[in-house]
Each structure stands twice: as structure tokens, then as C-alpha cells.
């Protein structure tokens, strides 16, 4: 297996993680502060005590056989030997001991995989259509652009501790296979007058309240892609909500009535342009190159019986690429779970028959590319032996599900066991619909939508129903989400809540009704919209009747005991801190990073660290005065009113706003970086002095830390 030298930046990150773990174990770091730190390194608390989920960052889902084998080795050595593929084109390892996380990260870095910023309040894994580069309908390959965004913002100081996570997606064509409309930033490739660029969608999101993204630009030239994202992140960092976690997303910031509105957001984006170190940024499209396998004789050694099963698999799991003579094979992975031995065999199949540029898909599968026609039967044979030869990739029969209560703190109900029941139902009761690509079922264990239920044609999220003093596990039924054949996206509508044991019956009712009453060639979502939400509520409401609950309805799928709601605290985003002194230490850390960046000639980075020093230092003083802090912009205004104008701290000239907001009124030059960093240094000295002279130092600031 090939390895690469770990970069000095990655090695420093891994060493820091080791040191912080040791400091935490010695009681030198508060638990909540350590939680924020480890999340930004891909280490996420699991439902089970004493173990973690370790998440990697695989931009646009690209993975090589070597990397897949390394995951298999690590899963076998340090976890339960399972690799879990996610709807964000990542791989997660579960049941990881905290002390083992640095060595796992280090060994992944050896094969070019990072976990930096895989969780936490930063730019998450950049996703893209898995068909990018081979899609017959694509204007151009978006993979190099997705990779450039990943690379540019990795370890970038502007997005290390924002109010919440930011998700970015690239579709390969108008078909929008990457669901750009549910992302903070979504990009659809276009060619206009011979120039490459993107239609830009911003402010989409799922979760408890789902938002459709809004079109920001009909055409953004490719060289403006990264500058636009950077300016947008700077606005989100300064104006985004932090204290109210459920409102701390881009979708709320650009809300027309309660937020900035799209026009207001874009106006602030323009104000940030001057401060960008790159006014344009040329994408190096040579950084993502797929090596096409050399021409070779047929490799298959076993004959394949061409029967109905093979024909159906070929129909649903194979398609011809835009490159003549080559085919892509879509591998259906039940629940997105691969045990280590099978992962190694799958890696070997890719080496023998396909390009090493494998892709993880948004529906928890794997895509093999550049397979020659004569080798397709051999690939089928080998996949079938692995248990990965089922037909129906990304169809009605291929149910997407998050881990739910298997491992997640936020899980309410068991997603995975229900998904298997529904797949069995489709295979046995509706075999003629195994190739149905226009109805997708998606399940989440809670409303947060890791299973993307709100973009399912039929979706479910975990909930519960109370009947007297008993509680039954339930699923909220949502209908009508997903992307229409014309590429238009929809968010599903909530219809009714049903005990989870009755969900297979609910799916049966829905499919039978659709087949009986839909007009010829009518798409499922079109049928839903024609009939209306009330029609489907009436169709399913008898299943929601708690008066008819049987004993088994009080048990979740895969469980023998009665259901007991056990919801932990999620770690998807910000955490709370309770020590003003710790916040001041955070400011000191940013100041030191700014000085280091300046010493390396990284003027823009030094400037942003100086900005963070000013804002975090101001926040510490405000919190010691019981002033709530929920946005950077609010901190800047409140510090002037409640600290400077009261005479508690004297500035040499101007207002605190004047001092801080120099950041977007100057080019990121060496001269400005030097002056701004010196001002931040002097201000931090004043903050320390003010804190040291404070009588009866306030320690507890509760939830107001997050800004």
C-alpha cells in the first residue's frame, strides 16, 4: 500500500490533539471546551459512553482502493470492524476510544485523508454529484472545483469557529443529483458564451425547519467561485446567530423578514471584496485527474449466468459514461455499512476492473468508474459474492437511513432496522418497482435530517406518540420531497405521525394508491401535489389511531422491550463554555496564531486572527458584565456602548467599531496586517488588565459563550 509524507500542518494538528487529550484527562481543560476542540478534528461523542465516532473528510466522495483498505485496517484494529458510509460522502468509524483518535488520524493522513474540520462549526465535507467527470449531461467536470474549495478553506482562519456548520455542494448538471438547493452554498455548472461558471444557490437547509435555497447568481464566472464563498463566510461569521443554536444557520441569516434578506446578504458580500486576498482565483483543474485503466483483455474468470437477476442489476446499477466504451457500476451497500474484510475485497475489485478514482455516493453507496463492457459480468460476479450485487441502486428499493439510535445521541428511533424492513417489503411485495428511480424513501432517526428525509419522495423521521402513560415509537411521515425529472427541487411536507411498527403498512397504502389512481406517466410527486396534503392525511390517518395500538406497537424495530425515549445532547454544532478566563485564553491563542501567520508572510490570515482577537477579547469583558453575546456584530456594537462609553476601557482613537471593522476596509497587505495585529495586541493587553483588576471575577457565563 502506498503512503505519503504527512504535511507539517497535519502533523502539528495531530500532535495538538494528543496534547489536548492529555490536558483534558488531567483536568486542565473544561469538558465543554475540549468538546469544541475535538469536534473540529472529526471526533464526535457517541450514544454509548466512553467511545467516539471518528469522521473523515473525503471531498466529493473520492476514495482510492489504498484509502479504502486503510479504513478497513483501522476499523479492524480500533473499532467494531465496520465502515459506515454517510449521505455526506464521508466514512465514519464508530466505537473509537478517545486515546486512539490521533493514531487513526495519523494513519489516514499517510494515505491522503484528513479528519480536520469533519465536525464542528466550520466548512464541512464538500459534496458533489458522484457522477462528476463521467456524466453525459454535464457541461464540465465539477470535481476539480469541489476539491479547490475543500483545499482553500481547510485550516482557513475565517471558518474555524463560526456560529454553525456550513455545507457546500456541487451538482454535475441541471438534474441536481447533489441537492444543491438544501445547502448553504450550492453550485450548478453552466457554460455561458463559452465561459465556465455556475448557477449559485444559497441558504438552503434541512433540519427541524427546512428551507429551499435561493438563487444568488444565474451565472458566476469560475474564477469568482472561491472569492464569493470566502466573502459569504466572512459575512456569516460576523452576522450569523450564535447564542440560539436552532437559528444559527445561513438559511436564517438570509431570511427575507427576520434576517438580512438575500439582497442584504449579497450587499454585505460585496463590502467584503476589498479585504479578500484573492479577488479572483483560478482553479487548477489538473489536481483531480482520473487515470483511465489501460486497455487489457477480459479479466473475468467465471462465467455469469445472464438471467433475470443480472438483467435487472444491469438495468439499475450500470450506465454508460460520457467516455465512449466505458461504464460506471453503482454498488448498492445496505445501510451504507461495510465490514473490513468486504471493504478490502471491494478495493481489490476496483483495482482489477475500474479506475482507482472511486466515489462514495449520496445514498450511501459506491461508484466504480471506467469499467470496460467485457468486464461488467465479472464485476457482477464478485459483487454478488460480497452481498453487494442487489439491483435497485438509488431506487425505491434502496432506502437511505442514518444510524439513528444505533449510535447517535440525538436518535429517537431505530432508522436502520426500519430501512431493512422497507427494503424487504419492496423486494417481496412490489418487485415490479425495484427499478423505480422516481420514488425514493429516506429515513432519519430524528428531525435533524442526517438521512435527508425532507428530500425523500416518501420520508420519515423519528418521533414518539403518547397514549395515556405509555409511549410508542413513531415516525413523522413526510411526502413530496426530492428533485423532479426537470431538475426542480422540493422540500417534503409533513403529513401525519404514525407508530413506527405501522410504517410498512403506510408505505404499502401509499404505493397501492399511487399505482391505482395516478394517471399514465404521472410522477409520484406530481400525484402528491395534484391530490394535496389533506388527501394523504385522510389516506393514512387510521394508522395513527392510538386507540388501536397493540403491544408490539410500543416496541421499536429490532427491540424486544417497550420503547423508552432516550435522547442525549447532540454535538453537531456549538457547545457552551462557562469560564471568562478560558475565553480570554482563546483570544490569546488567536493572537499568537496571528503573529505566526504574519511571520510566514500570510497577511490575510494574520488579519483575520487579529480580528478574532479583538472580538473574542471584547466578548470576554461583556460576558463578565452579564451582557448577552449572540453575534460578532452585536459584540462590536455592545462593547462600544457598555465598555468604552462607560469609561471602563479607553481607546486611543475612534470607536470600537472603527477599530474592528478596518478588516473590510483595507486590502490584506503586509502594512495593514502589521498595524492591525499591533492594535489587536495592544487591545488584548487592555482586556487582560481590565480582567485582572475586576473585583470578584465572574466565572459563569452559561450559554452566552457561543458568539
- pLDDT grade for 582, boundaries at 50, 70 and 90: confident
Q: Which helix (H) or strand (E) holds 459?
A: strand 458-467
Of residues 548 and 581, more confidence is placed in 548
Strands 337-339 and 400-401: unpaired
Please write the tens of the pLDDT for every residue from 429-448.
999 999 999 999 999 999 88
Who's near 432: CB < 8 A, 6+ residues apart?
none
| Strands 195-202, 214-221: pairing kind | antiparallel
Provide the pLDDT confidence category of residue 674 given band limits of 50, 70 and 90: very high
Q: What backbone torsions phi and psi does residue 378 show, to the nearest 5 degrees?
A: -65, -40
Torsion, CA 101, CA 103, CA 105, CA 106, rounded to 10: 160
Residue 80 · residue 94 · CB < 8 Å: yes
User: Is pLDDT at 265 greater than 70 in this prediction?
Assistant: yes
Question: To which H or E segment does residue 604 belong?
Answer: helix 603-624
**What class, spelled out in words, does domain 308-386 have in CATH?**
alpha beta
Pick the residue with more confidence: 32 or 537? 537
Across 294-316, average pLDDT: 74
**Which part of the chain has CATH 3.30.70.3340?**
308-386
Give the percent of the chain with pLDDT over 70.
Answer: 94
CB 149 within 8 A of CB 226: yes
Q: Is 336 left (phi over 0), alpha (psi -120 to 50) or beta?
A: left
Backbone angles phi, psi at 126, to 5 degrees: -80, 120
The model's pLDDT over 514-564, given as tens digits with 9 standing for 90+, comes to 999 999 889 999 999 999 999 999 999 999 999 999 999 999 998 888 888
Least confident range of 254-258, 281-285, 651-655: 254-258
Return the C-alpha cell found at 499. Answer: 407508530
d(C-alpha 518, C-alpha 618), whole Å: 61
**Percent residues over pLDDT 90 in the chain:** 80
Q: Does the pLDDT at position 245 exceed 80?
A: no
Start-to-end Cα distance in the chain: 45
List, as own/partner pairs, every contact residues 517-524 make where C-beta atoms lie below 8 angstroms and the sequence separation is at least 24, other chains included.
Answer: 523/438, 523/484, 523/485, 524/438, 524/439, 524/457
Task: For 38, list phi and psi in degrees, rounded to 5.
Answer: -70, -30
Q: Does domain 400-554 have CATH number 3.30.413.10?
A: yes
The angle that helices 143-153 and 225-239 make with each other, rounded to 10 degrees, is 40
The stretch 579-594 carries a mean pLDDT of 88
- Half-sphere exposure at residue 141, Cβ-oriented, CA atoms within 13 angstroms: 18
User: What is the strand order of the sheet 318-320 is part of?
Assistant: 62-63, 358-360, 366-372, 326-331, 318-320
DSSP 79: S
Which residue would you say has higher pLDDT here, 298 or 46?
A: 46
Beta-carbon contacts of residue 360 (< 8 Å; ≥ 6 apart): 58, 61, 62, 63, 85, 89, 90, 91, 130, 366, 367
Pick from 612, 681, 593: which is nearest to 12 by CA?
593
Measuring CA to CA, which residue among 384, 397, 403 is closest to residue 331? 384
Please tell me the distance from the alpha carbon of residue 670 to that of residue 679, in angstroms, as a whole number: 14
Alpha-carbon distance of 186 to 204, in angstroms, equals: 8
d(CA 529, CA 416): 29
Of residues 503 and 581, the one with the higher pLDDT is 503
**pLDDT of 624 over the 90 cut:** no
pLDDT at 304: 64
Burial class (CB within 10 angstroms; exposed 0-12, middle 13-18, buried 19+) of 155: middle
Which stretch of DSSP H or E encloses residue 68? helix 65-78
| Contact present, 417 and 556 (Cβ < 8 Å) | yes
Is 90 exceeded by the pLDDT of residue 571?
no
Give the single-character DSSP code of 693: T
Task: Specify the domain boundaries for CATH 3.30.413.10 within the chain.
Answer: 134-289, 400-554
pLDDT attached to residue 697: 52
Sequence-distant (6+) residues with CB within 8 A of 569 are 409
Q: Which helix or strand (DSSP H or E) is residue 94 part of?
A: strand 91-96
Label residue 696 by pLDDT band (50, 70, 90).
very low
Domain 580-706 has CATH 2.70.70.10: no
Q: What is the mean pLDDT of the chain?
A: 92
- Residue 1: what pLDDT? 53
CA contacts within 13 A on the Cβ side of 22: 7
Q: What is the pLDDT of residue 2?
A: 55
The boundaries of every CATH 1.20.120.330 domain in the chain are: 580-706
Q: Using 50, 70 and 90 to split pLDDT, how confident is the model at 473?
A: very high
Cα distance between residue 123 and residue 633, in whole Å: 21
Local structure of 120: helix, strand or coil: coil
Domain 134-289: assigned CATH number: 3.30.413.10
Q: What is the pTM of this model?
A: 0.93
Decide: 308 and 317 in contact? Cβ < 8 Å: no
Report whether pLDDT(702) > 50.
no
Unique residue bearing C-alpha cell 462600544 = 640
Mean pLDDT, range 111-121, rounded to an integer: 95
Secondary structure tally for the chain: helices H, strands E = 20, 22
CA distances from 628 to 33, 54, 706 (A): 19, 34, 10
Number of neighbours of residue 449 by Cβ within 10 angstroms = 23
Give the model's pLDDT for residue 406. Answer: 84
DSSP reduced 3-state for 231: helix
Which residue, 379, 384, 387, is CA-closest to 301? Answer: 379
Question: What confidence tier does 171 reach under pLDDT thresholds 50, 70, 90?
Answer: very high
Question: Which run of H or of E encompasses 687?
Answer: helix 670-692
Mean pLDDT of all residues in 201-221: 94
Q: Are strands 458-467 and 441-444 parallel, antiparallel or unpaired?
A: parallel
Among 390, 392, 387, 388, which Cα is nearest to 434's? 392
State mean pLDDT over 53-62.
Answer: 97
pLDDT at 297: 53
C-alpha 627/C-alpha 610 separation (Å) is 23
**Beta-sheet strand order (sheet of 91-96):** 43-45, 52-55, 91-96, 82-85, 337-339
**Strand pairing of 185-192 and 168-170?**
parallel
Cα–Cα dist 583/587, whole Å: 6
Amino acid at each position: 500500500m502506498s503512503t505519503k509524507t504527512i504535511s507539517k500542518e497535519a502533523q502539528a494538528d495531530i500532535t495538538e490533539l494528543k496534547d489536548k487529550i492529555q490536558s483534558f484527562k488531567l483536568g486542565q481543560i473544561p469538558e465543554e471546551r475540549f468538546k469544541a476542540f475535538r469536534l473540529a478534528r472529526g471526533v464526535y461523542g457517541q450514544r454509548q459512553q466512553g467511545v467516539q465516532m471518528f469522521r473523515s473528510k473525503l471531498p466529493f466522495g473520492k476514495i482510492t482502493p489504498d484509502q479504502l483498505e486503510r479504513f478497513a485496517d483501522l476499523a479492524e484494529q480500533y473499532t467494531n470492524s465496520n465502515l459506515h458510509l454517510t449521505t455526506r460522502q464521508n466514512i465514519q468509524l464508530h466505537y473509537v476510544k478517545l486515546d486512539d483518535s490521533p493514531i487513526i488520524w495519523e494513519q489516514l493522513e499517510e494515505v491522503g485523508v484528513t479528519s480536520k474540520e469533519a465536525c464542528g462549526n466550520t466548512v464541512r465535507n464538500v459534496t458533489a454529484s458522484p457522477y462528476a467527470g463521467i456524466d453525459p449531461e454535464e457541461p464540465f467536470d465539477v470535481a476539480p472545483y469541489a476539491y479547490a474549495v475543500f483545499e482553500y478553506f481547510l485550516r482557513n482562519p475565517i471558518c474555524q469557529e463560526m456560529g454553525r456548520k456550513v455545507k457546500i455542494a456541487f451538482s454535475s448538471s441541471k438534474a441536481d443529483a447533489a441537492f444543491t438547493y438544501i445547502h448553504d452554498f450550492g453550485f450548478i455548472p453552466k457554460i455561458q458564451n463559452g465561459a465556465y461558471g455556475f448557477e449559485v444557490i444559497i441558504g438552503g437547509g434541512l433540519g427541524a425547519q427546512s428551507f429551499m435555497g435561493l438563487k444568488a447568481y444565474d451565472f458566476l464566472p469560475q474564477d469568482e467561485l472561491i472569492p464569493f464563498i470566502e466573502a459569504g463566510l466572512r459575512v456569516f461569521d460576523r452576522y450569523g446567530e450564535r447564542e440560539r443554536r436552532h437559528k444559527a444557520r445561513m438559511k436564517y441569516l438570509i431570511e427575507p423578514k427576520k434576517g438580512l434578506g438575500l439582497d442584504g446578504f449579497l450587499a454585505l458580500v460585496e463590502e467584503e471584496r476589498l479585504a479578500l486576498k484573492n479577488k479572483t482565483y483560478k482553479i487548477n483543474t489538473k489536481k483531480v485527474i482520473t487515470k483511465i485503466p489501460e486497455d487489457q483483455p477480459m479479466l473475468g474468470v467465471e462465467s455469469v449466468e445472464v438471467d433475470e437477476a443480472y438483467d435487472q442489476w444491469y438495468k439499475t446499477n450500470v450506465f454508460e459514461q460520457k467516455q465512449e466504451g466505458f461504464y460506471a457500476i453503482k454498488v448498492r451497500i445496505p445501510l451504507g455499512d461495510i465490514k473490513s474484510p468486504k471493504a478490502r475485497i471491494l478495493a481489490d475489485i476496483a483495482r482489477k476492473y475500474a479506475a482507482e478514482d472511486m466515489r462514495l455516493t449520496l445514498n450511501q453507496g459506491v461508484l466504480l468508474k471506467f469499467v470496460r463492457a467485457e468486464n461488467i459480468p465479472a464485476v457482477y460476479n464478485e459483487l454478488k459474492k460480497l452481498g453487494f450485487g442487489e439491483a435497485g441502486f438509488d431506487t425505491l428499493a434502496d432506502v437511505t437511513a442514518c444510524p439513528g439510535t444505533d449510535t447517535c445521541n440525538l436518535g429517537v428511533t431505530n432508522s436502520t432496522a426500519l430501512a431493512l424492513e422497507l427494503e424487504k417489503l419492496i423486494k417481496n411485495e412490489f418487485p415490479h418497482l425495484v427499478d423505480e428511480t422516481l420514488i425514493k424513501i429516506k429515513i432519519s432517526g430524528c428531525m435533524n435530517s442526517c438521512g435527508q428525509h425532507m428530500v425523500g419522495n416518501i420520508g420519515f423521521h423519528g418521533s414518539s406518540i403518547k397514549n395515556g402513560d405509555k409511549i410508542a415509537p413513531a415516525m413523522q411521515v413526510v411526502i413530496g420531497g426530492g428533485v423532479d425529472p426537470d431538475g426542480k427541487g422540493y422540500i417534503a411536507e409533513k403529513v401525519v405521525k404514525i407508530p413506527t411498527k405501522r410504517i410498512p403498512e403506510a408505505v404499502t397504502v401509499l404505493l397501492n394508491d399511487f399505482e391505482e389512481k395516478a394517471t399514465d406517466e404521472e410522477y409520484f410527486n406530481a400525484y402528491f401535489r395534484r391530490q394535496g396534503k389533506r388527501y394523504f392525511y385522510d389516506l393514512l390517518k387510521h394508522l395513527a389511531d392510538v386507540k388501536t395500538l397493540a403491544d408490539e406497537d410500543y416496541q421499536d424495530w429490532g427491540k424486544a422491550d417497550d420503547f423508552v425515549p432516550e435522547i442525549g445532547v447532540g454535538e453537531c454544532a456549538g457547545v457552551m463554555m462557562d469560564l471568562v478566563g478560558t475565553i480570554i485564553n482563546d483570544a490569546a491563542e488567536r493572537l499568537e496564531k496571528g503573529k505566526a501567520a504574519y511571520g510566514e508572510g500570510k497577511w490575510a490570515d494574520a488579519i483575520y486572527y487579529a480580528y478574532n482577537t479583538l472580538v473574542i477579547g471584547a466578548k470576554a469583558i461583556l460576558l463578565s458584565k452579564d451582557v448577552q453575546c449572540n453575534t460578532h456584530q452585536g459584540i462590536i456594537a455592545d462593547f462600544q456602548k457598555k465598555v468604552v462609553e462607560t469609561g471602563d476601557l479607553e481607546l486611543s482613537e475612534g470607536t470600537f467599531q472603527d477599530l474592528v471593522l478596518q478588516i473590510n476596509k483595507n486590502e490584506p497587505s503586509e502594512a495593514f496586517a502589521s498595524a492591525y495585529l499591533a492594535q489587536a495586541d495592544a487591545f488584548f493587553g487592555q482586556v487582560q488588565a481590565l480582567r485582572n483588576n475586576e473585583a470578584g471575577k465572574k466565572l459563569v457565563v452559561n450559554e452566552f459563550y457561543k458568539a
